[in-house]
C-alpha cells in the first residue's frame, strides 16, 4: 500500500485514479450499437464470435435447459443460494412503498400511485467467472417490486453455454429468460430488441468498460442503474481493531480487480505498523496474488489520522462504495456518515458478509457517486404517477389564479382551459 501524508493527498489520489472519458471505447460502442439496431441477431452472432471467440447456435437458452441446471445444483450450494436469497428478499421487502391519496378540506385529492416496471434486463458478467450473487442482488429486488419480465444476458463460455451454476440460480429464483450474449452488443439487444431478444424498460448489472459505456449511450431509450466503476473499500480503525481482520478485508476487496481501490485510516500507530508489516505475508498466501499486488500498489492507500472524527470527515469527502468502521462505539460514529454506499459496523461485520449474505444490496455507487446516489433497491424497479382530482367547486375557487398565471406566460389556451369550466 502507499503511505500518504495528509487527507488532501489521499483525496487527490483517490479521485485521480478514476477512469476518464475514453474516446476509442466510446466510438467502438457506438458502432456496435448502430449495428445491433440495424442488423439484429446477425450482429449478435458476429460480435459473439469476434469478441468471445464462440460460435453460439442459439441466442436464447431454452427453458428446459435452465430447469435441468436447477435440478443439478449441488444440494449444499442450493441451500446456500436459498438462504442468501431469502435474506435479500426480506430486506428488500422493507423498501416497498405504498401508493397514497390525500383529500384536503376543499375537496382536492392529490397522491402518488406506484407501479413496477414492465420489464428489466440484467447483465451478469460471465465467460471465465461465475457470479450468482450478482443475479440474486439484481433480480430479487426487481421481483419484490413486481416486475413481471426479467431477462438475463451473460457472455457464453468457450463451449458456447452459460455456466450451469448461473442457469441453476436463475431457475431457482424463477427466471427462465436467459440469453447467451455479453458485452456492449448485449446491452444494445436489451435496449433496441432483435429477432430473438425483446427490448426492456431498464438495464441493470455490472460489466466492463464497454458494457458501462453502452449503458450510458442507451440511457434515455431505456433506464439504467449507475455505471459501476472499480470496487472501493475504506477501513477506519482505532486500537480496538485486529490487524488480521483489516488485512484480509483489504485483500478481499483488492482481489476483485487490479483497479480495485482501498484505503486504511487509523488513529493507532501500532495498528498502522502491524497492518503494513504483515500485509505482504498475507498477500503471498493468496491464489490471486498478482491482482492483489497490482491493486494495492497502484490504488491502495494508508493514512495515520489524529482522531476518528477526522477520519469520518475524510470519508464523507471520498464517498466510498464500502466503509468498515472498526472503532469503539461504531454505532455512534456512523451517525456522522453521509456519503457511502454500504457501512459495516464493528469488527465482526466484514464487507464480504454484504457481498453474499446479509440482505442489503451489494450493487453500490462508486467513483464518488455515493455523494448523490444510493444502493440498488426496490425503487429502482418502480416508478410512480402523480394523481390529481379537483371537484367543480375546488377548481372554481382557484381558476382565476391559474388563468392569471397562464396569461403571464402568454399561454392563452391554458388560461381558456380553466375559464371555460364555469360550473
Positions marked catalytic: 321-322
- Report how far residue 234's alpha carbon sits from residue 82's, in angstroms, rounded to the nearest whole number: 30
Q: How many residues does the chain have?
A: 423
Element (H, E) at 386: strand 382-389
Report how far residue 118's alpha carbon sits from residue 383's, in angstroms, rounded to the nearest whole number.
Answer: 10
Nearest to 347 by CA among 373, 325, 372: 325
How many Å is the maximal CA-CA distance in the chain? 84
Helix 243-254 crosses helix 289-299 at what angle (to 10 degrees)? 100
Cell of 119: 420489464
Taking each helix axis as running N to C, give the angle between helix 269-284 and helix 243-254, from 0 to 180 degrees, rounded to the nearest 10. Answer: 50
d(C-alpha 56, C-alpha 50), whole Å: 12
Q: CA-to-CA distance for 327 and 235, rounded, in angstroms?
A: 10
- C-alpha cell recorded at residue 218: 442507451
Q: Is 265 exposed, middle or buried (0-12, 13-18, 19+ CB in 10 A)?
A: buried
Cell 416508478 belongs to which residue? 383
Cβ–Cβ < 8 Å for 334, 311: no
**Phi, psi for residue 75 in degrees, rounded to 5:** -55, -40
Q: With b meaning 16 or more CB within 10 Å and e meaning fewer, what string describes 361-382?
A: bbbbbbbbbbeebebbbbbbbb
Q: CA 396 to CA 390: how far, in whole Å?
A: 10
Phi, psi of 388 (to 5 degrees): -135, 125
Q: Which residue has the cell 477526522?
A: 310
Bridge-based pairing state of the strands 100-103 and 109-116: antiparallel
> DSSP labels for 117-129?
-SEEEEE---TT-
Query: Which among 292, 310, 223 is positioned nearest to 251, based on CA atoms?
Result: 292
Q: How far is CA 337 from CA 191, 311, 328, 332, 342, in A?
A: 37, 10, 15, 10, 11
Amino acid at each position: 500500500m502507499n503511505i500518504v501524508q495528509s487527507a488532501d493527498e489521499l483525496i487527490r489520489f483517490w479521485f485521480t485514479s478514476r477512469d476518464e472519458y475514453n474516446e476509442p471505447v466510446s466510438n467502438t460502442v457506438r458502432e456496435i450499437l448502430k449495428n445491433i439496431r440495424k442488423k439484429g441477431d446477425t450482429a449478435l452472432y458476429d460480435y459473439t464470435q469476434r469478441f468471445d471467440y464462440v460460435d453460439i447456435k442459439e441466442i436464447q437458452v431454452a427453458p428446459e435447459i435452465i430447469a435441468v441446471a436447477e435440478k443439478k445444483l449441488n444440494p449444499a450450494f442450493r441451500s446456500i443460494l436459498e438462504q442468501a436469497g431469502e435474506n435479500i428478499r426480506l430486506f428488500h421487502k422493507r423498501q416497498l412503498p405504498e401508493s397514497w391519496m390525500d383529500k384536503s378540506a376543499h375537496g382536492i385529492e392529490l397522491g402518488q400511485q406506484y407501479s413496477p416496471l414492465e420489464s428489466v434486463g440484467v447483465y451478469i458478467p460471465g465467460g471465465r467467472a461465475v457470479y450468482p450473487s450478482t443475479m440474486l442482488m439484481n433480480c430479487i429486488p426487481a421481483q419484490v417490486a413486481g416486475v413481471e419480465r426479467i431477462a438475463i444476458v451473460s457472455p457464453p463460455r468457450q463451449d458456447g453455454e452459460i455456466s450451469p451454476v448461473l442457469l441453476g440460480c436463475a431457475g431457482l429464483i424463477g427466471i427462465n429468460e436467459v440469453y447467451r450474449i455479453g458485452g456492449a452488443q448485449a446491452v444494445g439487444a436489451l435496449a433496441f430488441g432483435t429477432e430473438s431478444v425483446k427490448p426492456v424498460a431498464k438495464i441493470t448489472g455490472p460489466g466492463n468498460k464497454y458494457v458501462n459505456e453502452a449503458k450510458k449511450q442507451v440511457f434515455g431509450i431505456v433506464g439504467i442503474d449507475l455505471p459501476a466503476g472499480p470496487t472501493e473499500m475504506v477501513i477506519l480503525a482505532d486500537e480496538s481493531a485486529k490487524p488480521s481482520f483489516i488485512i484480509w478485508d483489504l485483500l478481499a476487496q483488492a482481489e476483485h480487480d487490479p483497479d480495485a481501490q482501498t484505503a486504511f485510516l487509523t488513529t493507532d500507530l501500532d495498528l498502522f505498523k502491524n497492518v503494513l508489516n504483515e500485509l505482504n505475508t498475507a498477500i503471498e498466501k493468496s491464489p490471486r496474488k498478482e491482482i492483489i499486488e497490482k491493486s494495492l500498489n497502484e490504488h491502495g492507500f494508508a493514512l495515520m489520522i489524529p482522531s476518528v472524527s477526522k477520519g469520518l470527515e475524510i470519508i464523507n469527502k471520498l464517498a466510498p462504495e464500502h466503509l468498515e468502521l472498526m472503532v469503539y462505539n461504531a454505532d455512534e460514529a456512523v451517525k456522522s456518515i453521509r456519503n457511502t454506499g454500504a457501512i459495516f459496523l464493528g469488527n465482526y461485520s466484514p464487507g464480504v458478509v454484504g457481498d453474499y449474505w446479509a440482505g442489503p444490496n451489494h450493487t453500490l455507487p462508486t467513483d464518488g457517486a455515493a455523494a448523490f446516489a444510493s444502493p440498488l433497491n426496490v425503487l429502482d424497479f418502480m416508478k410512480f404517477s402523480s394523481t390529481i382530482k379537483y371537484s367543480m367547486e375546488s377548481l372554481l375557487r382557484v381558476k382565476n389564479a391559474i388563468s392569471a398565471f397562464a396569461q403571464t406566460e402568454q399561454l392563452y389556451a391554458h388560461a381558456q382551459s380553466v375559464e371555460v369550466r364555469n360550473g
